[in-house]
Structure 1
Amino acid sequence: MSPQKPRPDTLTLEVVELIGSVVARYHEEYEEAAAEHALTGAQARLLSLLSMQPLPMRRLAQQLKCEPSNVTGIVDRLEARGLVERRPDPADRRVKLAAPTEEGRRIAHGLRDSLNFAREPLAGLSREERLSLRDLLQRMLDA
């Protein structure tokens, strides 16, 4: 019989609930913003990743935590809409990179700009508070 883990304290449970609420609201707003561009959430996330830099399909699958075959389907649909293109990787011509077209980049930036849920409340925090929040969240992710 394994030893029982101690129950988290009330404050920890409250913080976990608040983080869950923030994540749920963020996803809800992200899905709504994606729908305004006739995109699914997965298509919007992929387009957002590509707006930072072209990526090979395998890396996209890792970042989206899904199978490479799913990424291929998403890229196919975005390519059909003229939002993404495939191009050879200059470092390895055998590898194909997915990259946003100019229209895809424009939509990705529009998606990012329309996410007011987090941006507006964060504006009410001082620079020091935002830095502290960023550092605490980063520590949580690094743990």
Structure 2
Amino acid sequence: MNGLGESHSEQAGRPPEARAQGAEEAEVGLAQQAWTLLFELLHTHMRNFPALAAEFDLSPVQAHVLRQLGEGALAMSTLATYLSCDASNVTGLVDRLEARKLVERRSSEQDRRVKMLVLTEAGAELRGRLMARMALPPPFIASMPEEDLLALGDIMRRALKPQ
């Protein structure tokens, strides 16, 4: 069987175009299966994120903000887009982070009307601890054989490589 319900002899009797189409369908099926499994893995793992954020007295959204700010200053409007929410929600969120002295609002050097969000020293320290905690692999990953971890790392690097 070829994975599509046909034996190799049945495949051999088909025209080359039909065989190629069958191979493409099988590849799409494998890609879809791999993507579905990856999506399920990430979804399952993200269920633990609220508890992880709570370890640092953060909401999950606050933890995402600190993670995002590791790249440097970020316009509040860009943050709203990243979080898929409107500016008023971001204002409240930033107010709470600012009250904890984790972030500061600054005017953009290019356009003073634009408010930029930057980490404070305390925010950078907390972000560092948060990121270190997030980097700890779950037990099912940590217990994989080295060969599997190398293969998984290679696959993930290729998947994340810009197209």
TM-score range normalised by the length of the shorter chain: 0.7 to 0.9
TM-score computed with the length of structure 2 as normaliser: 0.68
**How many positions carry a matched residue from both structures?**
132
Q: Deviations over 1:74-130 (max 9, x none)?
A: 10111111111111112222211111111111111111111223674789422x652
CA distance in 2, matches of 1:114, 1:80: 24
Question: How is 1:1-143 mapped onto 2 (pairs within 5 angstroms)?
Answer: 9=29, 11-115=30-134, 116-117=136-137, 120=142, 124=146, 125-126=149-150, 130-138=153-161
- Paired with 1:79 and 1:61, the residues of 2 have a C-alpha distance of 16
Q: How far is 1:15 from its partner?
A: 1.9
Displacement of 1:17: 3.2
Distance 1:37 1:113 in 2: 12
- Computing the radius of gyration from Cα coordinates, the structure with the larger value is 2
Distance 2:97 2:88 in 1: 14
Cα displacement (A) at 1:71: 1.1
Alpha-carbon distance between aligned partners in 2 of 1:13 and 1:132, rounded to the nearest angstrom = 15
SS at match of 1:117: coil
Contact 1:122 1:130 survives alignment (8 Å): no
Structure 1 residue ranges without an equivalent (≥5): 1-5
Paired with 1:16 and 1:131, the residues of 2 have a C-alpha distance of 16
Aligned partners of 1:122 and 1:112: how far apart in 2? 22
TM-score by length of 1: 0.76
CA distance in structure 2 between the aligned counterparts of 1:94 and 1:123, rounded to whole angstroms? 53
Residues 87 and 98 in structure 1, CA contact (< 8 A), matched pair in contact too: yes
Identity %: 34
Q: Which has the higher strand share?
A: 1
Deviation digits for residues 34-72 of structure 1, max 9, x if unmatched?
A: 111111111110111112211111011111222121111
